[in-house]
């Protein structure tokens, strides 16, 4: 399922995109916004895969909004003007749709985007696991990763970087969510949209950050309560 948000300051146009996403089986609408600023606030603590963004919006244009992002979220621009298409491709937009938008054009665009960016990525992921270790494809090799050696896992756009004790990090082409699904949840916890930590490796917490030697892992507001519950259950009072 491709997680989406929609951004358009025109209420009718926004409702139309919401409707189109709702009737498309492989899309899931997370939220919709009438301004890019509100969407930016949402993305600080939430992950999505695809955004539908109107280019012409007050306060912060869709183009400037996308340029301000550091994540690898795919974008389909929505515009009333063909001339904005070139600008869209300059920021690596997946596609663009010109208003008024029919469902046939919408479906063609999202199907193309799915096949180009998501199906290929899913096919490239290779993971096999059990309760103690997993095998993962990395740099044309199959590598065994022991769970008790992992300190934390970091999202790097379309990759994850697995940090381990006394060993170089291992990079693999996959999303952090997929990696999370394969880890034993009694030992690992998501503490930020970009980080999963091994709870058994935590020795120091400082200013709402987990310290692993020279690495500082932030605990975001979205995951703060769950992490606090973990601490409370083990805190000597």
pLDDT of residue 149: 95
Same domain, yes or no: 207 and 228? yes
> Among the three residues 81, 103, 124, which one is the final residue of a domain in this structure?
124
pLDDT band at 93 (very low <50, low <70, confident <90, very high): confident
Residue 237 lies inside a defined structural domain of this protein: no
User: What confidence category does residue 79 fall into, taking pLDDT thresholds of 50, 70 and 90?
Assistant: confident
Residue 48's CATH number: 3.40.50.2300
Domain co-membership, 210 together with 103: no
Does one domain contain both 100 and 139? no
Residue 33: inside a domain: yes
- The answer to whether residue 26 sits within a structural domain is yes
Under the banding of pLDDT at 50, 70 and 90, the label for residue 66 is confident
User: Could you give the CA distance from residue 70 to residue 194 in angstroms, rounded to a whole number?
Assistant: 12
Of 124, 143, 173, the position where a domain reaches its end is: 124
Q: Are residues 65 and 94 in the same domain?
A: yes
Element (H, E) at 103: helix 103-113
Q: Percent of the chain at pLDDT above 90?
A: 50
pLDDT band, very low/low/confident/very high, at 39 (cuts 50, 70, 90): very high
Q: Which helix (H) or strand (E) holds 112?
A: helix 103-113
Residue 55 lies in a domain: yes
Identify which has the larger pLDDT, 110 or 117: 110
Q: Domain ends where: 97, 124, 151?
A: 124
Give CA–CA dist 176/161, Å, rounded.
9
Q: What is the pTM of this model?
A: 0.52
Q: What is the pLDDT of residue 29?
A: 95
* pLDDT at 236 exceeding the cut of 80: no
Edge-first strand listing for the sheet containing 195-198: 167-173, 159-164, 150-156, 195-198, 188-192
Same domain, 116 and 164: no
What's the pLDDT band for 26 if we cut at 50, 70, 90? confident
Query: In 23-84, which ranges are continuous DSSP H helix?
Result: 36-43, 62-68
Instruction: Choose between 179 and 25: higher pLDDT.
Output: 179
Neighbours of 28 (CB within 10 A): 15
d(CA 94, CA 75): 5
Tokens (6 digits) for 59: 């306060």
Residue 135 located in a structural domain: yes
Are 120 and 202 in the same domain?
no
Beta bridge partners of 195: 154, 192
Which pair of tokens denotes residue 227? Answer: 């992490």
Mean local confidence (pLDDT), 113-122: 72
- Three-class SS of residue 213? coil
pLDDT of residue 64: 86
Do 120 and 171 have their domain in common? no
**Whole-number Cα distances in Å, 45 to 41, 90, 180, 212:** 8, 27, 17, 22
120 within a domain of the structure (yes/no):
yes
Residues of 10-23 as b/e, b for ≥16 C-beta within 10 angstroms? Answer: eeebbebbbebbee
Give the residue numbers spanning the domain of 27.
2-124
156 in the same domain as 210: yes
Give the pLDDT confidence score for residue 121 in this predicted structure.
Answer: 47
Are 98 and 16 contained in the same domain?
yes
Overall number of domains in the chain: 2
pLDDT at 108: 92
Considering the domain architecture, whether residues 203 and 99 belong to the same structural domain is answered as no
Of 166, 5, 164, 138, which is closest to residue 73 (Cα–Cα)? 5
Contact 105, 86 (CB under 8 A): no
* Domain identity same for 79 and 192: no
Model confidence at 103: pLDDT above 50: yes
Instruction: Report whether pLDDT(62) > 60.
Output: yes
CATH number (domain holding residue 203): 2.40.50.1020
Q: What is the mean pLDDT of residues 5-27?
A: 93
Q: Quote the percentage of the chain above a pLDDT of 70.
A: 88
Confidence check: pLDDT of 68 > 50: yes
The whole-number pLDDT of residue 237 equals 62
> Average of pLDDT values for 52-74?
84
The yes-or-no verdict on residue 166 having pLDDT over 90 is no
Residue 89 clears pLDDT 60, i.e. is over it: no
Q: Are residues 142 and 211 in the same domain?
A: yes
Q: Are 54 and 79 in contact (CB under 8 A)?
A: yes
């Amino acid at each position: 399922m491709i997680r989406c948000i929609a951004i358009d300051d025109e209420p009718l146009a926004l409702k139309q995109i919401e409707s189109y996403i709702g009737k498309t089986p492989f899309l899931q609408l997370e939220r919709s916004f009438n301004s890019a600023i509100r969407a930016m606030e949402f993305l600080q603590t939430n992950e999505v895969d695809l955004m539908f963004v109107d280019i012409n919006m007050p306060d912060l244009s869709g183009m400037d909004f996308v340029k301000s992002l550091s994540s690898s979220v795919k974008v389909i621009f929505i515009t009333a003007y063909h001339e904005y298409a070139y600008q869209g491709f300059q920021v690596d937009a997946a596609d663009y749709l010109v208003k008024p938008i029919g469902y046939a054009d919408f479906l063609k665009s999202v199907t193309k985007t799915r096949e180009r960016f998501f199906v290929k990525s899913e096919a490239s992921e290779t993971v096999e696991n059990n309760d103690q270790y997993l095998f993962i494809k990395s740099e044309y090799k199959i590598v065994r990763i022991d769970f008790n050696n992992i300190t934390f896992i970091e999202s790097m756009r379309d990759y994850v970087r697995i940090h381990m004790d006394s060993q170089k990090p291992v990079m693999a082409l996959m999303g952090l969510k997929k990696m999370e699904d394969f880890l034993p949840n009694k030992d690992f916890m998501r503490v930020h949209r970009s980080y999963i930590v091994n709870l058994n490796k935590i020795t120091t917490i400082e200013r709402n950050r987990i310290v692993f030697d020279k690495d500082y892992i932030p605990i975001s507001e979205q995951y703060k309560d769950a992490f606090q519950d973990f601490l409370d259950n083990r805190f000597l009072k």
